[in-house]
Amino acid sequence: MATTICGWCGVTTHMAIVTDVIDVPRQGSSYTYVYMAAFRCSNERCARLSVGRTYRDKPYGMTKEMREDKNIQWEPAQIRRPDFPDVPPQIGATASEAHACLSIGAHRGAVALARAVVEATAKHNGITGGNIVGKIDRMHQDGLIREITREVAHEIRHGGNEVAHGDLADEPMPPEDAEAIVEFMDAILQEVFQGPARMRDLQQRRLERKQRNAE
């Protein structure tokens, strides 16, 4: 059995192979064969089928090897779409899509959306014009983000795959760079929207308690 996060139910589950393994010769690529089989989710509430596939350059021992294969890719894939409840809805939805892109390996898409989220966050706070790094500096000047966050923005930039770069289609985009930029986006949202919302909430509850005690 293969263990994975089921793309249907989101639970970490064992996938039991339920069909024969089919090998599909693939031309014009570095891999010669694609092996595919249907698997069933062992979560009883789900029990749906997913298709597992793996790529090999030489023939494969079929069912037993497929069952033990650690590199199976799954369809449907588990797609992450986290919620950003204290973030303005359009910005939060875009941030959620950046994570969805990352979870399917669409790294340039993830980075393009993460940049758009940072730009929109600046705009939401009245900062317009100039490039994204200038906007991040302004967000720091206006007390919206901490010094360390501003420094990290500059470091990501100097690392090559900039937060600011405009020529996405021209850049190599290793997964770790895309992950770093999406993580940076999360940190900006945390500092600008989510952290302050939590503090306002705490303040509100204290106020209500004070009023109740005064009654």
If we measure between CA atoms, which residue out of 154, 156, 160, 129 comes closest to residue 140? Answer: 154
Q: Are 41 and 6 in contact (CB under 8 A)?
A: yes
Is residue 8 within the footprint of Zn ion (CB under 5 A)?
Answer: yes
34, 46, 77, 100: residue in contact with Zn ion (rule CB under 5 A): 46
Is residue 43 within the footprint of Zn ion (CB under 5 A)?
Answer: yes
Q: What angle do CA 120, 133, 163 make, to 5 degrees?
A: 80
Contact region for Zn ion (CB under 5 A) — 37-45, 58-66, 67-75, 109-117? 37-45
Instruction: Work out how close the CB of 48 gets to Zn ion at its nearest, in angstroms, rounded to a whole number.
Output: 6
Contact region for Zn ion (CB under 5 A) — 45-53, 93-101, 103-111, 199-207? 45-53
Is residue 2 within the footprint of Zn ion (CB under 5 A)?
Answer: no
Per rule CB under 5 A, count of chain residues that contact Zn ion? 6
State phi, psi for 7 to the nearest 5 degrees. Answer: -70, -15
Q: Where are the alpha helices (DSSP H) in the chain?
A: 63-68, 89-103, 107-124, 132-141, 147-158, 175-189, 195-214
Contact region for Zn ion (CB under 5 A) — 43-51, 92-100, 111-119, 151-159? 43-51
Rounded alpha-carbon distances, angstroms, from residue 73 to 28, 37, 52: 20, 11, 6
Neighbouring CB atoms inside 10 A of 202's CB total 10
Q: Are 98 and 180 in contact (CB under 8 A)?
A: no
Is residue 6 within the footprint of Zn ion (CB under 5 A)?
Answer: yes
Task: Rank residues 78 and 125 by Cβ distance to Zn ion and give the closer one.
Answer: 78
Distance CA 186, CA 163 (A): 13
Is residue 16 within the footprint of Zn ion (CB under 5 A)?
Answer: no
Is residue 49 within the footprint of Zn ion (CB under 5 A)?
Answer: no
Is residue 41 within the footprint of Zn ion (CB under 5 A)?
Answer: yes
Instruction: Work out how close the CB of 15 gets to Zn ion at its nearest, in angstroms, rounded to a whole number.
Output: 9
Is residue 78 within the footprint of Zn ion (CB under 5 A)?
Answer: no
Instruction: Work out how close the CB of 22 gets to Zn ion at its nearest, in angstroms, rounded to a whole number.
Output: 22
Is residue 60 within the footprint of Zn ion (CB under 5 A)?
Answer: no
Joined together, the tokens standing for residue 114 give: 């993460």
DSSP 3-state assignment of 200? Answer: helix
Is residue 9 within the footprint of Zn ion (CB under 5 A)?
Answer: yes
Residues forming contacts to Zn ion in the complex (CB under 5 A) are: 6, 8-9, 41, 43, 46
